Amino acid sequence: MAALEPAGSFKPALLVVDLQEDFCPPEGSLAVPGGREIAPLINTLLSLPFSLKIATKDFHPQDHISFETSHAPPNNRPFESSVNISNPSETSQSHEIPIWPVHCVQGTKGADIIPEIDVAKVDTIMEKGKDRRVEMFSGFADVFGNKSSQATNLDLADRLNSAGITHVFVVGIAGDCCVKCTALDAKKEGFQVCVLEEATRSVDTGEKGWGAAKEEMEKAGIKMTSADGPEVERVKKLP
Ligand code: VGL
Ligand code: ZN
């Protein structure tokens, strides 16, 4: 659908990925260094005339398959262990996923969007990762590429397409995880995609983490840019 927009048209959306308590210091169970620092810049972006502003939330059941508590030791160490999970809709397919500390459990404070973010400026909040059986980093689909209503409250691509969105700007946390996967899927869905680098923070800021994530995104045709760059200038000029 995005491809059906007239050439040269510009209807940008802002996706604010997972700015939640559990991903932020000082108390988050999966705190990403500097996660809270990017809130002021994200609020500035939220006040710009994007056609649509969506915030995503990682929103897991308490027995989610990515949690250390869902697996037996010794192969359940967060940031070290990984497990194979099978595709709920095609059980012959499997995928290796990392093990995480318990995070963003539905109904807990850890799942809340941090109060520093001006959520009144957000049009829609989408929840992802709701199916205990499968990992979902991207707001568009799970790690197998499934779009299931069991895992989310909203089909993100549908929402963007029905608003006639052409360009997707991605910010938030974690840069090397959910931001990357969401940006890659946005590109696959046919949108032009920018990631605003200073408005993301990563679990691993090194070459293997954010460095590799940037390379993968750039290879896919995603633009790494800045809030001072020409892409955001174009948003500022919108009526
Ligand atoms: C995320 C790890 C596990 C993220 C979500 O938001 O980047 N990371 N679940
Ligand atoms: Zn998660």
Residue 229, pLDDT > 60, answer yes
Residue 84, pLDDT > 80, answer yes
Percent of the chain with pLDDT over 70: 97
Return the pLDDT at 194: 98
| DSSP H or E stretch at residue 6 | none
Residue 96, pLDDT > 90, answer yes
Instruction: Tell how far the Cα of 237 is from the centroid of ligand 2, in angstroms.
Output: 36
Q: pLDDT for 1-10, tens place per residue? A: 555 567 779 9
Whether 67 lines ligand 1, by a CB cut-off of 6 Å, is no
**CA 36 to chain centroid:** 16
Token pair belonging to 141: 């689909």
The candidate with the shortest Cα–Cα distance to 114, out of 13, 33, 178, 40, is 40
Query: For residue 176, which atom of ligand 1 is closest to its CA?
Result: 7
Q: What domains does the chain contain, in order, with CATH numbers?
A: 12-62+115-236 (3.40.50.850)
Whether 165 lines ligand 1, by a CB cut-off of 6 Å, is no
101-120 in b/e form (b: 16+ CB < 10 A) is: ebbbbeeeebbbbbeebeee
Token pair belonging to 152: 């989310």
CA–CA separation, 171 and 16 (whole Å): 5
Return the pLDDT at 2: 54
Instruction: Tell how far the Cα of 58 is from the centroid of ligand 1, in angstroms.
Output: 7
Mean pLDDT of the chain: 96
> Atom 8 of ligand 1 has which residue's CA nearest to it?
177
Instruction: Tell how far the Cα of 4 is from the centroid of ligand 2, in angstroms.
Output: 33
Residue pointed to by tokens 């709920």: 88
Mean pLDDT over 86-95 rounds to: 96
Percent of the chain with pLDDT over 90: 95
Residue 59, pLDDT > 90, answer yes
Token pair belonging to 123: 């049009």
At 142, the pLDDT band (50, 70, 90 cuts) reads very high
pTM of the model: 0.96
Q: Which of 16, 22, 29, 30 to mutate to test the pocket of ligand 1 (most atoms within 8 A of CB)?
A: 30
CA–CA separation, 168 and 104 (whole Å): 25
Q: pLDDT for 170-223, tens place per residue? A: 999 999 999 999 999 999 999 999 999 999 999 999 999 999 999 999 999 999
Instruction: Tell how far the Cα of 131 is from the centroid of ligand 2, in angstroms.
Output: 11
Q: Which of 17, 23, 59 to mutate to test the pocket of ligand 1 (most atoms within 8 A of CB)?
A: 23
Pair 176, 152: CB distance under 8 Å: no
